Structures are given as structure tokens and as C-alpha cells.
Structure 1
């Protein structure tokens, strides 16, 4: 974003005597602020950003917003006065989006949003200028910040859209106005807020609210809960494992270099990605569909997918110092993604001895005990060991005590017993899946094994 301050004021519908100041970005944090940024001082429960406005200007901010009901505005600083700073941020993003010729790709889903975002960006990046959501900037603050960070000559912007309740995805979609929308799947995350998987499906489908009239929706065709929503949606394309999908996948093979697979339907071809897991292959189908829309050839897609890079902790292969292999999928977890990861470890032939380390699944609402206990069906006898972490995993532990004969350990809040058990048992022939919700921070279990 490169605008004069007069243009920003016009976006916001306010008058200002400031002229000629160049605004080259926006910032809500003085620690990451860049020279030329417009500082946006939010008022939170614990911190009032207005206290840092002078510090922001001294650090190089070109100007700052100031909320009208905030007392004692400094008269010697370049300020734009607004009714509400959060609303102002969103209005600036909406106005800037109107001026961009960038193709916007919006992504939502219960699981796999970030992986799909990374795969879509990876397949396009060798051939176009691409920007994507950084970190978890996928909410009512993060999305407008991402839009305002887009360069004017960006060809494709890949934007992740998250939520915790009804109406949030609709707001984000109407703000971003995507040319393409992707729904990765419908899981169980946010069940406590949305009541049921049907409710989750309805909330995720809100991504079509702002879809451009020429736009297309790509969706998980294996999910029956999405079918009622797409029945009357003209530009909807399904992908998944089922033969009825418009793009489907077969012959998935796991290797030490990732996954190879065949796709058929809209395109018939063989591809590979440097990522493990059938669920990641399914996410790749959405990336292939976007690549075809962008005009890429089969060989273009094949080359870029081979070099795809995912954010850490998504089925990430981590070699241990003793030759064992950790699969770090510890960024997040829900029943559906947990089962997908356990399905991978069950079917992989990468190593003979298989271990799983599972952490609590959070935000599951009233059925959380049922969901944890149900994982018993995915714990197969060939596993050498099962380590469980967190108070909720006690439910699964109690189910496994009578049904599982391998090494079994549960720890409520201490990583060390798990680390000790692994140190005494894993070898170069071991593969260890590590999976849990972000709040369990299970990557700490891996750290001692990667130090030389």
C-alpha cells in the first residue's frame, strides 16, 4: 500500500488538514512497525495503544489514527481522528481491495486451512507474484492487515479465514471479496460455539457470501454436510477421495520424501508433494484446481508441487539424532485430523516400529469425552507405544488400558515421562507421530531428540 494521507482520509470519510504524507503500510504493534506505516492504536482489556502513539511516530510511523473518545490527543503529532480504530482498519482494507486487480483466493475449513494456503501459494509462486496470510492473521483484525500489506502488483493473494462463531466468515468474505473460495473440510473444532457439525458446515459456507459473481467455490466433496449448501450453487467444484468428485485422487504412496499420487477427473495426471499424509494429498487437490484456473500446465504444476513448502508442524518430517523419524503434526488437532494422522501412521511402511504421542483436543464442547474415547478405534495393535498428554487424554488412556498391549503412558502436564520413555525405547527403526492441539505444545517432546 502506497497512499497519500489525504487518500487514506478519503477512504475513511473524514476531513484532515494533513497533506503530502506518504503512507506505505499499517501497523498495530510498535515492535514490528516499519517506517512509513500508519499506526493503529487499539484499546484492549489490558493495553491501550494510544499510550504508544508517540513512540510509534518516533520509531518512524508516518502518522497515527486516534479514536475520538480517547482524551488528550497530542497536538504536535500527525493524527487522523476516527470513531473506532478497528472499524477504520476494516474500512481501509475494504477500500484498498476495491482498487486492487489482485486475484483473491479465500480459504476456510475446520482443518487444513494453513496447509492448503501454503500448497496453493507454492504451486503458483514460481510463475506469478503471490502473497499469503502470514501466521494466524485470519480474523477480523488479521485479514484487513493482510489485505493492506498486499503490493499493488501482486497477482494472487491467498487469504486464510478463521472463525469461532456464526457471521465471522461472512464478514471476512464480504471484506475480501474472493475470486475463488476453498472449503477444506468440516470437522469438530468450535463445536462448543456452533453446536453441531451441521452448524459448522453452515458457518464455513459463509465464505461464499462475498464471492465475486464470476467466482468459483472448490469444496470437500466427501463431506455430505456441504451438499445441501452447494445444490443451488452454480460455480461449485468438488474434490476428494470419492469417485463422484470432479477431481479425485488414488494410488497414494508414502515415501521418505513425501507422498506420490494420481489424480483423475478434470485432469488425469501423476503428482508428488514433499509432505506426508492422505489429508495433505487431499488439500493438494484444491491447489491443483487453483493452478488450472491460473492457466498452468500439468508439468508446471508437477514442478512446483515437488518443491512445495508447508508451515512447520504440519506432518513435518524431523530426523532424530539416533536415526529415528518424528512426524511433527503438533500445530493443531481435532477428531477428524487426529484420525487422518493415525491412519497415516497405521499404513506407512517408512519404519518398522511405530509410536504415537497424542495431546488433548481442545474446543470440542460437551462431546469432548466421547471424541477422545473414540480414538481408541484408531489405535492399532501394531503400535509399539502410545504416549498421551493432557487431562482430556486420560479418557483415552482409561479405554486403552484394557484393549492395548503395547507400552502405554499418560502424563497430565509433564513432558518428561514421555521423553524418558522414548529415550529408553526408540531406535533408528522407529517412526513417531506427534499430534495435539496447539495448547498442548507437544513439539517440546521432540526437542531433546534433535540436539546433536
Structure 2
């Protein structure tokens, strides 16, 4: 992580400090006074309800070496190592940008509507066989989280895998110009953020902003089956291109995919006789693995090393996480996020998964889909196969539209819709025998992991 004296920091961002403290050394940064570690630079943000400046003295007493202080906030403590700045957020971003310039490191930037975190995790796993790698932790993928991640990078880190999220146009542009990736990955273009951006075309444009910070002759890896990306990048000559997808027109595509309750087995073009094992369910996750493999190949990781690494890949929680329930049922916890594309992919997975007597789906609201949100939900319900899925449970006001669509193909006694989570749990428990597989999926705001927790053995 960043280790600098206050004098050095004044050369990295616009600030003023008392020369008495110029030799004070900071180690790492922190924006939460409750989580301050020894030597941190504390960053106080001034919000509508809470002003972080009131915690500056306490943060230093807990071990922080120094703190920023916003210029228009009165009474900065003269007896403490303080850096006066116009805006602590801008200063944080300036510091991260300057620190990134000093690092001799490869940066992999990852964006997309679905699968960003899973792909980031897979890339990290593959590269860790050969390099010292750090990645974005949690959801630190925005204008605050990305600078914090960059400033947490160790001097000896060789590759950083940075997730870049967005909700509006221009946000990826800012992040990629801050991180300046050597490799950029776009996992796909879905419907998330339709509410803010209005169309899939606009979403594609926003995701493509990741190329704005890409190093000259850098590599972009993207989902080649997406026409919105292919058309935009067809005449691109500023950087190199590799694609992944199901079509044989891609640089890397699967020759076959086999799904079991333990995960996925697949082979790839050019290595038809080699089987790659992935302890993660879903064909869409095989695509995420292909994206990761292209990145690893660019950095000279052998396919033999990738094969071994993929067998033991570990993903962030609540992404196709397989859990055993109290009666022995299997639960697929995919409750971190949802869009029509990812929900249909998860439903398709459970529909054709073999080895279970019954299949149950528990689906909640998909958020931020804009004016057509009810139509998207109803289409998900209509898309389900009543011959393969025994019960449909929905949660939330938009989930009711999933149920409405499902009732066009399912009998009434196999579709249940709730706005009360506990009532859903009680009804779900009443139909479980222990021989089922249960998919639980919704947008993060629905907190459907609470359903999973209630069923865990």
C-alpha cells in the first residue's frame, strides 16, 4: 500500500500542510474512522447528515498518522498532522492517480453488465499461479472504491485486477483514465441500468468507455457474440482485440460444455481433447472463464496452469454459491444481483441440471430496469419450463409480474407470490423434501440471501 511522507504527498496532490509534520509517514488510507489502522491517512468526507471532520482527532488518536481537512471547514487542528485540501474526494483521486503512475504494474480492468466480479475472481485465480496479484475487494468499484483499491496496492504487486462499475454515462471513462489498464475486459451488455441510460445501445457506449484509458497497443477482451460491441470495435486500430463467446467466429469458444451438480466441464477450440473443470454452475460462467483465460494467455500463463487453477477457483459469495439445506436439498445462492439476462441464464441452468427429483426457483425483483420493468419480469415468468420446474416462488412487487408470467405456463397451485419474506420462507419449507435443487436469485436490494440462510443446514 502507499507509504509516503506528508512532504512527498504534497508533490502528488494539491494540498497545504504545516512543515512541522512534513516528515510524518502515512501507510495506507482509510475513510471510516472506526476502521483506522496504524499509520493510515484518514480521509474525512462531508456529507448531508455526517461530517467526517468531527472524527479526525479520534482517528489520529486511534493510530492514523495524518488526516485530510477540507479548506472551507472551520477550525482545522493546528496541533495535528493535517493536509488542507479543497475537496477530500478529489484529493483522494489525485493521490491514487499519482500513486498508480509510480507503480510498475500491469492493470486489468473489468466491466460489463453481468459477471464482472466472477470474471475478476477468475482472472485473479489464473494469474496468481505465476504473479503476485491483488484485486478489487467487495464492491469497491466506483469513484471512491477504485482510488482506495489503487492506494492499497503493494509495491511488489505485479498485476492488479480492477473491477469498474457504473450507473451513468461518463463514470467508466473516469475510472479507466484513473487506472490506465493494460488489458480491458467487457463481459457482456445486459439490461442493468436501463433506468438511467435508456437503451442497451447506451449501455454499450458506456461500457466501451473502458477503452478510453487503455494503454496504446493494449488488449481489449470482449464478448464477441454481442453485435453492439462487435460493430463498435470492428474498425478499432488503437489496440489489439480478442473475443470470447459461443460462436466459432471468436478467438476463444467452447467446443462442448457439460453441467453437473458439482460444476461445469468444458473444452475449448484448439484444445479439443483437454477438459477444463470449473466448480461453478452455469454456461454463462464458462464464458466468464473464457474471458479470464484470454487475459491469462496474454500474460503468458500456460493452459496447463489454467486447467489446474480453474479446478480450485473461489468466487465472491452469493454468485452461484452451492449450499446444502437442512433436509439435504441443494441451494444455489445467486442472490447478489440480477437482470433479465442473468436470471434467464440461471433458470436455464437449473432447468437442465440432472440428478434432482424436483427443481424450485425463488425469484425476486430485478431493479433499475426502467419503464419496461414489468414487461421484463413477466417475460422471465413466461420463459420457464413447467415440465422441468416444480414450483415458482416470487418475492416483491415486481416479482408479482414474474408470477403473472409464470401462471401462463404453470398451474396455479405451483406458483406462489409474496411480499412478506417470512411467509415465503414458511411456504417454501412446507414443500421441501430434501431431494430438490433450489435457485435463489434477485437484485441485491431484495436481500434474498435471508431465504438461503433460513434453509441452511
Measured against the shorter chain, the TM-score band is over 0.9
Measured after TM superposition, the shift of residue 423 of structure 1 is 1.7
1:397 & 1:238 partners in 2: Cα distance?
37
Which of the numbers 366, 389, 393 marks the counterpart of 1:383? 389
2:60 & 2:163 partners in 1: Cα distance?
31
DSSP 3-state at the match of 1:237: strand
1:126 & 1:350 partners in 2: Cα distance?
34
1:67 & 1:24 partners in 2: Cα distance?
21
Match of 1:411 in 2: 418
Measured after TM superposition, the shift of residue 400 of structure 1 is 2.6
Which of the numbers 269, 272, 276 marks the counterpart of 2:281? 276
Measured after TM superposition, the shift of residue 15 of structure 1 is 4.5
Structure 2 stretches lacking a partner, 5+ long: none
Which of the numbers 224, 238, 258 marks the counterpart of 1:221? 224
Aligned residue runs from structure 1 range 46-445, under 5 A: 46-234=49-237, 235-264=240-269, 269-381=274-386, 382-405=388-411, 407-412=414-419, 414-445=420-451
Measured after TM superposition, the shift of residue 192 of structure 1 is 1.1
Measured after TM superposition, the shift of residue 48 of structure 1 is 0.7
1:154 & 1:267 partners in 2: Cα distance?
34
Measured after TM superposition, the shift of residue 128 of structure 1 is 1.5
Structure 1 stretches lacking a partner, 5+ long: none
Cα distance change of structure 1 residues 198 and 265 upon mapping to structure 2, 3 Å threshold: farther
1:118 & 1:355 partners in 2: Cα distance?
28
Cα distance change of structure 1 residues 266 and 88 upon mapping to structure 2, 3 Å threshold: farther
DSSP 3-state at the match of 2:56: helix
Structure 1 range deviating more: 49-58 or 257-266: 257-266
Measured after TM superposition, the shift of residue 268 of structure 1 is 7.5
Cα distance change of structure 1 residues 277 and 52 upon mapping to structure 2, 3 Å threshold: same
Question: TM-score, with normalisation over the residues of structure 1?
Answer: 0.97
Measured after TM superposition, the shift of residue 126 of structure 1 is 2.9
Matched, 1:3 2:4: yes
Q: Which runs of 4+ in 1 moved over 6 A?
A: none
Deviations 1:246-283 (A, max 9, x none): 10013211223211111115998421111101111110
DSSP 3-state at the match of 1:131: strand
Contact 2:89–2:144 (CA under 8 A) maintained in structure 1: yes
Structure 1 range deviating more: 386-395 or 256-265: 256-265
What is the Cα-based RMSD across aligned positions, in Å?
1.4
Contact 2:30–2:41 (CA under 8 A) maintained in structure 1: yes
Cα distance change of structure 1 residues 267 and 146 upon mapping to structure 2, 3 Å threshold: farther
Question: TM-score, with normalisation over the residues of structure 2?
Answer: 0.96
Cα distance change of structure 1 residues 270 and 157 upon mapping to structure 2, 3 Å threshold: same
1:170 & 1:318 partners in 2: Cα distance?
38
1:303 & 1:124 partners in 2: Cα distance?
12
Structure 1 range deviating more: 389-398 or 171-180: 389-398
Deviations 1:408-443 (A, max 9, x none): 10002x122222222222223200000100011111
Match of 1:36 in 2: 39
Measured after TM superposition, the shift of residue 2 of structure 1 is 1.3
DSSP 3-state at the match of 1:209: helix
Deviations 1:140-161 (A, max 9, x none): 0000000000001101101000
Structure 1 range deviating more: 124-133 or 395-404: 395-404
1:99 & 1:232 partners in 2: Cα distance?
33
Deviations 1:286-323 (A, max 9, x none): 11111111211121111111110001111110011211
Which of the numbers 20, 25, 46 marks the counterpart of 2:23? 20
1:270 & 1:352 partners in 2: Cα distance?
28
1:108 & 1:19 partners in 2: Cα distance?
39
2:139 & 2:54 partners in 1: Cα distance?
26
DSSP 3-state at the match of 1:92: helix
DSSP 3-state at the match of 2:232: helix
Contact 2:380–2:405 (CA under 8 A) maintained in structure 1: no
Measured after TM superposition, the shift of residue 378 of structure 1 is 2.2
Contact 1:105–1:157 (CA under 8 A) maintained in structure 2: yes
Structure 1 range deviating more: 146-155 or 370-379: 370-379
Structure 1 range deviating more: 2-11 or 430-439: 2-11
Measured after TM superposition, the shift of residue 3 of structure 1 is 1.2
